[in-house]
Homo-oligomer: A and B are copies of this chain.
Amino acid sequence: MDNRTQPPVRRIGLVVKPGEPRARAVVARLLEWAAERDLELFGNEQQQWDDLPIATVPADEFGTRSDIIVALGGDGTMLGVARLVAASGTPVLGVKFGTLGFLTEYTDADLFPSLEEVVSGSYSVDPRVTVHCVVERDGLPVSSAVALNDVVVNKSALARMIELDCWIDGLFVTNYRADGLIVSTPTGSTAYNLAAGGPILVPSMGAFVLNPICPHTLSNRPLVVPDTVNIDVSIRTRGESVMATIDGQLGFDLHSGDRILLRKSESTFKVITPRNRNYFQVLRDKLRWGGEITPPDR
């Protein structure tokens, strides 16, 4: 967590969850708020803005032209923004209507006071490791993407299981016979990985989890490896439909023999957070851990 004072903010990129009914009123207030403070506020051309009087910039310039990005939606919206800023590394402030998410650190209720602080440079940045994924076919790259949560290789609905070979830094790990394989970042550890029996990794953990989904061999437990390793997965299954999904949002069809090369991305996804925020509080809230605090030095 970087707690230093950040550079002041002049240019704010805006992303809104499509179809979110409560977003329109917030955007209208944001436009006023930005005009009063002489701040630039703009969207990107890929998003529909209907009749909202908001300037737009090309999607490929959106990250670099923004000092920060404000995302209205939920954790799913943040995952989409992560791909948009993968190259620029622009910090992102996530706003959720109602309750907080794992990645959205602000609610609509506290948005405007928080923004005042943020534009003055008073905020923290929580850098999250992302994973860069390349699909190779016949030795040549055919697709690539960056994931904030996870890259999942999985079977189609009819298939009972698929077979995958896995290498770490060139060493053979095992061949998994399973519904699929989740390669999760610490950020993604509380998402699909958790549902599939994997551990929680605190966000600062420099690690990935390899978590086979419903493996045939019960001792194929989740495997935690340093995020500095090279993870290679190849598709051994023949004649079955297999797919790679990026953060549950993008999908690539895979063929037998395809290799998926997974590496830590060069840049991180920077989540804007309130000062003195506590990740364990997020866990207790979202996972309903409960637990009252007793002072350690009673």
Contact = CB atoms under 8 A, between A and B. Distances in A.
A271 interface: no
A224 B224 contact: yes
Given A214-B195, A278-B171, A289-B217, A294 B222 contact: no
Contacts of A209: 199
Interface residues on A, range: 35 or more
A246 to B, nearest CB: 10
Interface in A95-141: 139
A199 B198 contact: yes
A171 B223 contact: no
Interface string A279-298: 11001100111111110111
Nearest to A296: B167
Nearest to A244: B157
Contacts of A68: none
Interface string A252-263: 000001010000
A248 B160 contact: yes
Contacts of A195: 161, 178-179, 214-216, 218
A199 B201 CA distance: 11
Pick the most buried of A234, A291, A292: most chain B CB atoms within 10 A of its CB: A291
A25 to B, nearest CB: 26
Copies of this chain: 4
Interface string A208-229: 0100011111111111111000
Contacts of A284: 174
B199 A232 contact: no
A53 interface: no
A138 to B, nearest CB: 10
Given A243-B158, A290-B217, A257 B298 contact: yes
A222 to B, nearest CB: 4
Contacts of A23: none
Contacts of A154: 157
A287 B219 contact: yes
Contact of A289 (B220, B241, B291): B220
Contact of A296 (B170, B197, B251, B297): B170
